Amino acid sequence: MTEFPDIRIPIGDGVEKFIDFLAENFEAFFDFIFVISSSLIKGLEGGLLAIPWWVFILIVFSLGWYFTSVYGGILFSIFIFLIGTFDLWPETMTTVAIVLISVILSLVIGIPLGIGMAFSKTMSTVMRPILDAMQTMPSFVYLIPVIFFFPLGNVPAVIATIIYALPPVIRLTELGLRNVDQEVVESAQSFGSSRMQMLMKVELPQALPTIMAGINQTTMMALSMAVVGSMVGAQGLGERVLYAINRIDISLGFEAGISIVFLAIIIDRVTGGIAKRLQKHRRDAA
């Protein structure tokens, strides 16, 4: 009576068979995704590497100055300069490319899903447990199925990152739209606005600060997958961290790790500054 009965419900076996089914019957579809994703990553990475280092630092300074303060711009510029002195410039551009592609695709998928959940209780009810599972599932687990569909490299890391980073932007898009002032919506309806006009000109602008908070969280979660993605062949700073762990190289591990921290601080402050500016603009317009 003290031991659990010898009963097995093979849920994992069912998932494995489903993954095998997809890999066998949708090979052409996954090859198409691989080619498109790989081209996007290589193109963006090549574009970033083509920018002179001092121009990139000026861009970071300008973003920091405009969206935070002049001191923020100077601090962010110092962070980027330090990363260059660590001899990690190409790896940093690769990481930025992977994060940007992951975030853009996450927004393309997540914002429409959030809009759909805001206007459909049925869709919201179905999606919420799925999002709960996506947020609580250990990030390493996402790497297992993607390596069945794609060769090792940046593409499976991007796909796993998208799955991991999607929930915040979906949830906060839904939350922002549900919290839109109904009096404003009713006023738009009284003026004869169509459903699409209300969404594009009234509801989304009102919900934009909340959506921006979701974009911020999605971006930070995408960056946090940099090291995890290196386990399936993703290049960049995460790869250097993994290399340092395998070699017990404290110096390289610290420099690559602090570089990821620098990027995280810059992204967090800039996206937070964008959200604050949008909120201020909305208050001024009101």
Residue found under tokens 């919201």: 124
Question: What's the token pair of residue 123?
Answer: 């869709």
Task: Pick 12 or 131 by higher pLDDT.
Answer: 131
pLDDT in tens, 211-242: 888 888 898 888 888 778 888 878 888 889 88
With a cut of 90, say whether residue 145 has pLDDT above it: no
Unique residue bearing structure tokens 């930025």: 96
| Residues belonging to the chain | 286
Q: Are 235 and 156 in contact (CB under 8 A)?
A: no
Rounded distance between C-alpha atoms, residue 15 and residue 2, angstroms: 30
Q: What is the pLDDT of residues 18-39, one digit of tens each?
A: 888 887 888 888 888 888 888 8
Could you tell me the fold of the domain covering 11-50+86-285?
MetI-like fold (1.10.3720)
Report how far residue 212's alpha carbon sits from residue 201's, in angstroms, rounded to the nearest whole number: 17
Q: At what angle do helices 154-178 and 204-224 cross, to 10 degrees?
A: 150
Question: Between the CA of residue 242 and those of 90, 133, 236, what are the distances in Å?
Answer: 16, 27, 10
Structure-token match 């998928």, residue found = 109
């960056």: which residue's tokens?
223
State the pTM of this model.
0.87
113 band by pLDDT with thresholds 50, 70 and 90: very high
